Chains A and B, each alone.
Chain A
Amino acid sequence: MNSPVSIAIHGGAGTLIKGKMTPEKEKSYRETLQLALDEGFSILKKNGSALDAVEKAVIVLEDSPLFNAGKGSVFTADGTHEMDAAIMEGKDLKAGSVSLVTRIKNPVSLARVIMEKSPHVLLAGQGAMDFAKLHGFQLENEDYFYDEFRYQQWQKIKDSDHFQLDHSDRKDSKFG
């Protein structure tokens, strides 16, 4: 390698903080986090780009039901899943982002395609969905995003004005 390479990742806890989860659950979290790190790092080790590495690491986390992104996305007030993602490279300040999309397996990859194949930085909602279809993104069934734990999280505050951040048990009325 020409110079040192490094990668870091983060994931919210989905209200499960250390000390409140079973050893089995903690093991699952650790294994998924390690897999994301390893997949990203293996790209860097082969002289791949930082852009490829961060996209791959996030895809691993999006594909897990444990984290609030992609497959593990929480429920909206309407019982749907709305996802947001962004990606940016430091070399030339290129950026792409997507908001309020549904049924997209890996929103981070859609953000990257927006960066690389559109003149825009942020696409949202139905327009972003149309763009995704145009570029061959497959839509998953709603069942793909169903998770019993997330569903029960939603049931606790459904039909209220409360909303809840994924890393907190609080039910603040305005800012999560």
Chain B
Amino acid sequence: TVGAVACDANRNIAAATSTGGMTNKNWGRIGDSPLIGIGNYANNETCAVSCTGSGEFFIRGVVAYDLSCLIEYKKLPLKEAADEVIFKRLPKLKGDGGLIAVDRSGNITMPFNTEGMYRGMRNSNGENKIAIYE
């Protein structure tokens, strides 16, 4: 699964997610990627988020919208809210994976709780990072 989130100069944010699914899947199985609020969500008032991981758990956890709600209702900062979702709420469902998220101030967070995650970020402050995590 791949995805991107961005914040533009007008302080609008967006998210995109795309996947080829799971090897040997059948029965028309879909995961979280095409489901708005599950693996993909964007709201200028909170954040834009794209998820990757075991889709069934992300569906159960309504993960992308859950992150947005933690920011909107609990007033958590982006990173704190994303950490809550990936390190506390998702493991309670026995789920694994990660997300990338950005808010309209351009803050980025990229938590994950499993191996094999590839990440990249770049901003107008000159930060430019690519990382492959074990």
Contact = CB atoms under 8 A, between A and B. Distances in A.
B33 A84 contact: yes
A11 B116 CA distance: 9
B20 A167 contact: no
A24 interface: no
Given A6-B121, A85-B18, A90 B2 contact: no
Contacts of B22: 74, 163-166, 176
A6 B3 contact: no
Contacts of A4: 7, 105-106, 123-125
Contacts of A88: 14-16, 36, 40-42, 48
A10 B104 contact: no
B67 to A, nearest CB: 13
Given A6-B124, A76-B26, A122-B34, A44 B19 contact: no
Interface residues on B, range: 35 or more
A90 B34 contact: no
A129 interface: no
Count chain A CB atoms within 10 A of each CB in B25, B56, B122 and give the residue with the most: B122
B73 interface: no
Contacts of A125: 28
Interface of A: 1-13, 15-19, 26, 29-30, 33-34, 36-38, 40-41, 44-45, 47-51, 53-55, 57-58, 61-62, 67-70, 72-78, 81-91, 93, 95, 97-100, 107-108, 111, 121-122, 124-125, 150, 153-154, 157-158, 160, 162-168, 175-176
9 contacts: A5-B8, A37-B128, A47-B8, A75-B23, A84-B34, A86-B39, A90-B46, A168-B115, A176-B54
